[in-house]
Each structure stands twice: as structure tokens, then as C-alpha cells.
């Protein structure tokens, strides 16, 4: 879709500045545009840092196109936008979300929301998936906020941040031989896990931003060719990395970032015929963010919202994200290695405990995340149509079942025995 936009704009005499946040993506995008027949003499494909450093040398663009535009609040991007105020701005992202709650309305006038992940799976644009993780061990600790969503504190108490289950053992059990990307919480942990795999005869390699360029390129090529079965990293292989026949992702790092969760968990869901992706979540991230096809109120995130201050202990273990450019890096560093910005606080690095646990299929427990769709922030009462809608809306917002009787027209004239008989199948279906 992006390639078609660029091609049409160039054909009409436009010049495109195409901004990416990683140099590794430049060649990938160049190949895509070449395949699509785009005249690249009218397209500059640059990292945002490179573009900012040579602003005066660039041909003034008619369109500034930003990939992974949830990064576009960073100063490196806004300086580019301000330098070319007459250029149209077009941004693409699967996750228009910022951890600080700031929206994007000062950068973009409108948000055009695409089809849901659920629709994309049903219409063979994304692969369907299985999701293996731990069941919420202490569900009694889960508490809901006024929006009907679980509070973050209660989720962390239900599933404390740790690695649950045997990573290598579960790979052999559920994904033996599959091309797999593993996300660890630190470089040290990633290297150690790769070593564990190799000790079991499974070819696994670690790569990070400090890996020499030629070595990293060879690692990526060996992974694409199937020589390397498990590619271990922290955050190198997430946004924009395209390996369609990667069928499995292992999450071995907890994150409070919805962007990181979706970008990493769905890395195995590139569509191929008859493909079934597998996501092995050893850290219970689904409890914080739902499943890949959980619906989110993206318009709310686009507009921005006031976020309550969280305790220092809520930060992602072992990592922090830059307040300026949104890069993720080890929180022992004083400043962001990407842009040099210093966050106000530096978190002392900690490691993750290993906890013995059995993994299971999480999809049968999806009801808890179905309820998120019916919270007040996502759905208004006027949107409800069926009895099932009213039932889920009541459960998501902690209403009594009698609320359904007096608000769903078809139930208003029923006596209570008839009403409870009517909703009994829903109670059995959703176990609520």
C-alpha cells in the first residue's frame, strides 16, 4: 500500500522523503519500491537521524512519509517536519500508541483506521495463531478499574515479572524445528538463552545493535535460509523485520509497552497459505495487553490522554525507553544510545527469576480480553444491539445482571425466571 502511494505521487511529479527509524530497513524498502516499479530518483529513503543531519541538502519533499510513525513524536522527527512545513505528512503504524499518553494530533490531522487484526486473520492477510503461556495463577488479585480493564498493579501481582517455564523444553515440545525469534530482557540473557539452545543441539544465535554489521547481515541471512533455527535478541528484530516463513515467537521479556508487545508477538503472523503461527509467552505479557487480536481504542491513543503516574517498579525489567525518540535500551545506560537524550531517572538493572510452570493454550481464556472491547472507553451503550452485547457490556463494566433486564428491550417484559433462563447460555459460554 505504501509503495502504491509513493508510485502515484511520483507519477504526478512529486518528490518523497521516506523516513525510517532503522538503517536495516532502507534496503528492504528500496527493494519493495523497485519491485513495485517506483522511480527512485524522486524518492529519498533515509533514517530520521540522517535526514535531520542533511536537511539543507535534501530536495524539498511534497510528501514526508514516515514508517513506524508512532516514533514521530521524537525530536529528530519533529525537526524534519518543521523544516519542511509545506510538505504533506503521511505516517503508517500498526500501533499508534505512546506510553506517556501523548497523542499525534499536532503532527497529523486525521487517523485512518485500517481493518482489525481479527478481520485480517479471517481474510487471510495475517496468519492465525496459537498462544501458549501461563494461566493467571492468582486471579483473585485481579481488580478492574472504572473502565472495566484490569489495573496494572493487580496484573503484576497476579503474574509477577519473571520467566515462567523451561524455554528450551517448551520450544522442543511445541515448536521443534520451527524458525523462531526469541525476545529476551537483556543482552546477557539473550546470549545465555542462545547458549542453552546450542547445548541441546539447536542452532541458536544472538544478535544485537553492537554486533558487527557484516556479521549481523550474515546472521539475518542464515536465519532467513533456515540455517539458524532460533534468533535471540532484545529489541533488534521487531519493527519492520520481514521473514514471512518465521512461524514462532518466544517472549522471554515482560513489557508494559503495547507497541513492543504487538510488534514482537505478531512477528510470526506474516501470512503464508496454511500457516499457523505460534506465540510462546514465558512472561505473561498477554495478561497486560490481551492477545494479538484484542481490539484497542486506537482513536483514543491518537488523540492522546492523560496518563496517571506509575511507580518506578512498574518499568520494564532490565530495559527502559527513551522519552525523546522512543528507542529501547538497557536501563543501566545514562543516556539513550540512539539520540543522546537523558531520561530523568535511571533504573537499577535487575534480572528475571526463573519459575517452574506449565504452559497451556491461552485462547480458551480469551473471554477476559473480549470484555475489554465492551468497556465504556471502547463502546457506548447506544452501540449495543444483541443480548450478548448487553451481557458483555454489563460484565465489562461491573454492572449487575439486572441492569441487562431493564436496559435490553427484549428482556424488559420478562419475569426474572424467564430472564435468567435467557442469559444462562451466555453465563455458561463466558464462565461469568
Q: Model confidence over 360-383: pLDDT tens digits?
A: 888 644 445 566 667 776 778 888
| More confident site: 213 or 276 | 276
Q: Is residue 330 part of a domain?
A: no
Q: Are residues 385 and 422 in the same domain?
A: yes
**Shared-domain flag, residues 137 and 203:** yes
Same domain? 272 vs 387: no
Interval 195-246: pLDDT, tens: 999 999 999 999 987 888 889 889 989 999 999 999 999 877 655 566 778 9
Mean pLDDT in residue range 131-152 = 59
pLDDT score for 185: 86
Q: What is the pTM of this model?
A: 0.68
Per the structure, the count of domains in the chain is 3
| 160 and 83 assigned to the same domain | no
pLDDT band at 299 (very low <50, low <70, confident <90, very high): confident
Examine the domain organization and report whether 281 and 185 are in the same domain: yes
Q: Which of 27, 66, 71, 64 is nearest to 338 (CA)?
A: 71
Domain of 216, CATH number, reads: 3.40.50.300
Domain final residue, candidates 40, 60, 93:
93
Last residue of a domain, which of 93, 110, 128? 93
The answer on 389 and 359 residing in a single domain is no
Q: Are residues 357 and 388 in the same domain?
A: no
Q: Do residues 356 and 386 share a domain?
A: no
> Which stretches within 230-270 are classed as H helix?
258-265
306 within domain boundaries: no
Task: Tell how strand 360-361 and strand 128-133 pair up.
Answer: antiparallel
Q: Which range is least confidently modeled, 139-143, 184-188, 427-431?
A: 139-143
Question: What whole-number distance in Å separates Cα of residue 395 and Cα of residue 410?
Answer: 19
Cβ atoms within 10 Å of 119's Cβ, excluding its own: 12
Q: Is position 326 within any domain?
A: no
Range in 98-102, 183-187, 217-221, 253-257 with the lowest mean pLDDT = 98-102
Please state, in angstroms and rounded to a whole number, the distance separating the CA atoms of residues 211 and 19. Answer: 24
Is 372 part of a structural domain of the chain?
Answer: no
- Please check whether residues 144 and 172 belong to one and the same domain: yes
Find all residues with CB under 8 Å of 415, minimum gap 6, and list them.
Answer: none
Is 294 within a domain? Answer: yes
Based on the domain organization, do 357 and 390 belong to the same domain?
no
Asked, for residue 113, whether it belongs to a domain, the answer is no
- Is the residue at 319 inside a domain? no
Model confidence over 150-173: pLDDT tens digits?
455 655 565 677 888 999 999 999
Print the domain residue range for 162.
118-301+352-363
- Does residue 199 lie within any of the structural domains? yes
Instruction: State whether 278 and 146 are in the same domain.
Output: yes
Amino acid at each position: 500500500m505504501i509503495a502504491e502511494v509513493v508510485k502515484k505521487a511520483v507519477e504526478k511529479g512529486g518528490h518523497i522523503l521516506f523516513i525510517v527509524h532503522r538503517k536495516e530497513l532502507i534496503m528492504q524498502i528500496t527493494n519493495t519500491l523497485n519491485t513495485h516499479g517506483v522511480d527512485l530518483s524522486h524518492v529519498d529513503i533515509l533514517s530520521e537521524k540522517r535526514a535531520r543531519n542533511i536537511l539543507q541538502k535534501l530536495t524539498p519533499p511534497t510528501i514526508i512519509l514516515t514508517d513506524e510513525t508512532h516514533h514521530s513524536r521524537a525530536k529528530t522527527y519533529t525537526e524534519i517536519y518543521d523544516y519542511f512545513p509545506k510538505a504533506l505528512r503521511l505516517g503508517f503504524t500498526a500501533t499508534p500508541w505512546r506510553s506517556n499518553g501523548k497523542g499525534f494530533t499536532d503532527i497529523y490531522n486525521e487517523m485512518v483506521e485500517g481493518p482489525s487484526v481479527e478481520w485480517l486473520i479471517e481474510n487471510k492477510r495475517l496468519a492465525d495463531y496459537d498462544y501458549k503461556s501461563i494461566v493467571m495463577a492468582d486471579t483473585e488479585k485481579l481488580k478492574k478499574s472504572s473502565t472495566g480493564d484490569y489495573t496494572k498493579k493487580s496484573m503484576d501481582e497476579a503474574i509477577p515479572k519473571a520467566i515462567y517455564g523451561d524455554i528450551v523444553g517448551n520450544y522442543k515440545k511445541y515448536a521443534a524445528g520451527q524458525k523462531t525469534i526469541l525476545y529476551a530482557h537483556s543482552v546477557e540473557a539473550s546470549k545465555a538463552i542462545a547458549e542453552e539452545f546450542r547445548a541441546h543441539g539447536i542452532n541458536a544465535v544472538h544478535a544485537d545493535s553492537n554486533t558487527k554489521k557484516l556479521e549481523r547481515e550474515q546472521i539475518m541471512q542464515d536465519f532467513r535460509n533456515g540455517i539458524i533455527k532460533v534468533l535471540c535478541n532484545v529489541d533488534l528484530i521487531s519493527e519492520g523485520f520481514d521473514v514471512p516463513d518465521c512461524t514462532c515467537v518466544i517472549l522471554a521479556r515482560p513489557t508494559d509497552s503495547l507497541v513492543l508487545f504487538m510488534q514482537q508477538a505478531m512477528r510470526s503472523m506474516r501470512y503464508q497459505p496454511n500457516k499457523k503461527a505460534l506465540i510462546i509467552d514465558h512472561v505473561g505479557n498477554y495478561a497486560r495487553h490481551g492477545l494479538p487480536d484484542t481490539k484497542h481504542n486506537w482513536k483514543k491513543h491518537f488523540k492522546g490522554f492523560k496518563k496517571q503516574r506509575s511507580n518506578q517498579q512498574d518499568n520494564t525489567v532490565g530495559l527502559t525507553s527513551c522519552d525523546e525518540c522512543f528507542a529501547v535500551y538497557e536501563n543501566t545506560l545514562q543516556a539513550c544510545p540512539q539520540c543522546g537524550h537523558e531520561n530523568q531517572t535511571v533504573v537499577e538493572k535487575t534480572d528475571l527469576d526463573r519459575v517452574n510452570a506449565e504452559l497451556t493454550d491461552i485462547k480458551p481464556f480469551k473471554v477476559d480480553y473480549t470484555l475489554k472491547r465492551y468497556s465504556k472507553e471502547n463502546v457506548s451503550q447506544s452501540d449495543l444491539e444483541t443480548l450478548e452485547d448487553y451481557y458483555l457490556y454489563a460484565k465489562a463494566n461491573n454492572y449487575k445482571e439486572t441492569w441487562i433486564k431493564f436496559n435490553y428491550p427484549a428482556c424488559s417484559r420478562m419475569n426474572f425466571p424467564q430472564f435468567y433462563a435467557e442469559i444462562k447460555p451466555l453465563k455458561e459460554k463466558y464462565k461469568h
